[in-house]
Structures are given as structure tokens and as C-alpha cells.
Chain A
């Protein structure tokens, strides 16, 4: 079974703090993604990566950066957390499932910024 893990299930930070969210997958997938999920807005793509040291902006990259130093690890960074970044953050790793690509999600990190 594919396993995607995220460093924290719940996180509380203060405005202005630097926040690191870590994601690790064990299936040697090349593609990894960071989303945030908010009520009524669904999942929105923040950043994604197709390979080590490669990153691409998603639909809402502002206020975030990412790091992919190793294939199995994809980190999301909030340089200076703000209250509007309070959200559920979901990491996904993408691989073949039958004939199509499937995204496997981690359990999520619920971040609260005070």
C-alpha cells in the first residue's frame, strides 16, 4: 500500500511565524502536490513537483514556498504565517493505478494561525 505521511495532524502557530509542513511518500513517486481545503472552496492546488528540485506553482501559490530536496519528501513553507492561511493542508503523491494516474493523500494537517 502507498503510504503518504504528514509531519503533524494539528498545528497552532502565531501570525508572522515561519511554518514548515513536511510530507513523505514511500512509493518512489515522482509527482507530489500540496493542496489546501476550505469549506465551500474544495481542494485548491498550492504547488506541485515533478522531480527533485523541481517545483511548479499551482493556483494559489502566494504566501507559500516549497522544497523538494529528496524524491520522497516534499515540504510546504509558510514564510510568515497569516490568519487567512488557517486551513486543512493535504499532501498528495501521484502514481499509476491501473491505466490512469491516482493521487494518494496524506492524512492532512489542520493549521490554525492565531
Chain B
């Protein structure tokens, strides 16, 4: 079983739609969780950290479910500029981050 698993997509959604991605992790001792965004042919950049209580940043909401060992990212009112690959990232209580392979989102007009 992979340490971090994501549906690769692509998720094709119209502008204005709400879309959600899930990511599962295998190490129950994991302490830190993040969503990174990677545009085509660009480097990954931190989108948001995921806290136990969940957190929201504008149209983006991230949640953590420790019991089921998954994190989610919800994007409301999708924009064309949201088209990218979203990487789920977990720190399994070590010195390293574990990156998922990413979920590709394509928002169309």
C-alpha cells in the first residue's frame, strides 16, 4: 500500500462548480498534512496546511479525518485559474515529507 494515495483524475469541471479531492495516508502516526498546488511545467507551491479542526482559505477548505486516515480539499466556485495538479503531502512523524502523485483538475468555461 502506498504511503499517500490520491485519485490521479483528471477531474473536468465547469467554471463555478464545486469539486472535492480526497487523499488517504497509511501511517496513523502522521502529524502534519498539506495541500500543494503544481501548475503545468512549474514547481509545487504550498496551497494550505491542514489542521485537525479543518481550515478554510477563501474558496478552499481542507479537512482531516484521523479516524479514517484521509484528508480532503474542497474548492468552491471553481475558476479557470484553479486548473492545476493538487498534491497531497503528509509528514509521517519523521524528518521527511511524503508526496502523493497528485490529482489533476481541469476547469473549463
Contact = CB atoms under 8 A, between A and B. Distances in A.
Interface string B18-30: 0000000000000
Given A97-B46, A105-B45, A107-B42, A48 B95 contact: yes
A98 B99 CA distance: 21
B95 A56 contact: yes
Interface stretch (A12-20, A39-47, A61-69, A76-84): A39-47
Nearest to A98: B49
Given A48-B95, A58-B96, A100-B32, A43 B44 contact: yes
A21 interface: no
Contact of A100 (B49, B100, B101, B102): B49
B71 interface: no
Given A40-B101, A105-B44, A106-B43, A45 B96 contact: yes
Q: Which of A41, A42, A50, A99 has the most CB of B within 10 A?
A: A42
A42 B100 contact: yes
A42 B102 contact: yes
A45 B96 CA distance: 8
Contacts of A8: none
A95 to B, nearest CB: 11
Contacts of A102: 34, 46
Q: Which of A41, A58, A103, A106 has the most CB of B within 10 A?
A: A103
B99 A107 contact: no
Interface of B: 8, 32, 34, 42-46, 49, 87, 95-97, 99-102
Given A42-B99, A43-B99, A97-B49, 8 more contacts: A35-B99, A40-B101, A50-B95, A90-B44, A101-B32, A106-B43, A108-B42, A108-B43
21 contacts: A40-B8, A40-B101, A41-B101, A42-B87, A42-B99, A42-B101, A42-B102, A43-B99, A58-B96, A90-B43, A97-B46, A98-B49, A99-B49, A100-B32, A101-B32, A102-B34, A102-B46, A103-B46, A105-B44, A107-B42, A108-B43
